[in-house]
Amino acid sequence: MKKAYLAGPEVFLADALDIAQAKQALCSAYGFEGLAPLDGEVTTAGGPEALAGAIYDKNVAMIRRSDLVIANLTPFRGLVMDPGTAFEIGFACALGLPVFGYANTDAGHFRRVADAGPLRPRPGRPEVQEDADGLAVEDFGLFENLMIDVPIRRLAGTVDTGAVPRDRLYGDLSVFERCLARAARTLSRG
């Protein structure tokens, strides 16, 4: 059974353990063993910095033991995905692992940035849109920054997205399940 590391911001939720167990049950139904960042207890005699290091070491070891990563790209604490998940995606790509991504919103990167504040054409380069800080806003038609989206699309073909109720933004598993189905189909072909 292929091991799938389950990356995402769900670890910060009050019901994180319940969600991890539900995701692992769905993984099993699709022929994967789900490895959740909450698996196994992390203890250390040191303070917060030592605990942070122990969590990092455990999660990196789990990714190394995985055959693939399934990552929740739902925007977290802002306009873009969880930065820890972004690191885990990059680490998995560096190891040559396939990464499948999903998000519980269908608003792509450009739309999320545009909805956050007005964009304007860059002086002298009207084809480039910039935000209030004068920073160019990429518009490649992708869900997330190209360095996240492109490697996911190269194997999976897309980032699975869907609108879910706001109060279930991180706990709704319907889009996660669609992503699992895509991973199972894709990996069975290769």
pLDDT string in tens for the chain (190-residue length): 999 999 999 999 999 999 999 999 999 999 999 999 987 777 777 888 998 999 999 999 999 999 999 999 999 999 999 999 999 999 999 999 999 999 999 999 999 999 999 999 999 999 999 999 999 999 999 999 999 999 999 988 899 999 999 999 999 999 999 999 999 999 998 6
Q: Rounded to the nearest 5°, which phi and psi values hold at 41?
A: -85, 140
Question: What is the total count of domains within the chain?
Answer: 2
Q: Examine the domain organization and report whether 91 and 170 are in the same domain.
A: yes
Span 131-181, pLDDT tens digits? 999 999 999 999 999 999 999 999 888 999 999 999 999 999 999 999 999
Q: Examine the domain organization and report whether 12 and 73 are in the same domain.
A: yes
What range does the domain containing 129 cover? 109-142
Q: Examine the domain organization and report whether 17 and 80 are in the same domain.
A: yes
Q: Examine the domain organization and report whether 120 and 102 are in the same domain.
A: no
Q: Examine the domain organization and report whether 185 and 123 are in the same domain.
A: no
pTM beyond cutoff 0.85: yes
Q: Examine the domain organization and report whether 125 and 154 are in the same domain.
A: no
CB 78 within 8 A of CB 110: no
Q: Examine the domain organization and report whether 47 and 94 are in the same domain.
A: yes
Q: Examine the domain organization and report whether 57 and 113 are in the same domain.
A: no
CATH label of the domain that carries residue 81: 3.40.50.450
Q: Examine the domain organization and report whether 39 and 117 are in the same domain.
A: no
Q: Examine the domain organization and report whether 127 and 153 are in the same domain.
A: no
Q: Examine the domain organization and report whether 136 and 46 are in the same domain.
A: no
- The Cα 103–Cα 105 span in angstroms is 5
The mean pLDDT value of the chain amounts to 94
Nearest Cα to Cα of residue 177 among 105, 106, 108, 104: 104
Q: Examine the domain organization and report whether 68 and 18 are in the same domain.
A: yes
* b/e burial code for range 144-178 (CB count within 10 A of at least 16 → b): beeebbebbeebbeebbbeebeeeebbbbbebbbe
Give the pLDDT score at 190.
Answer: 62
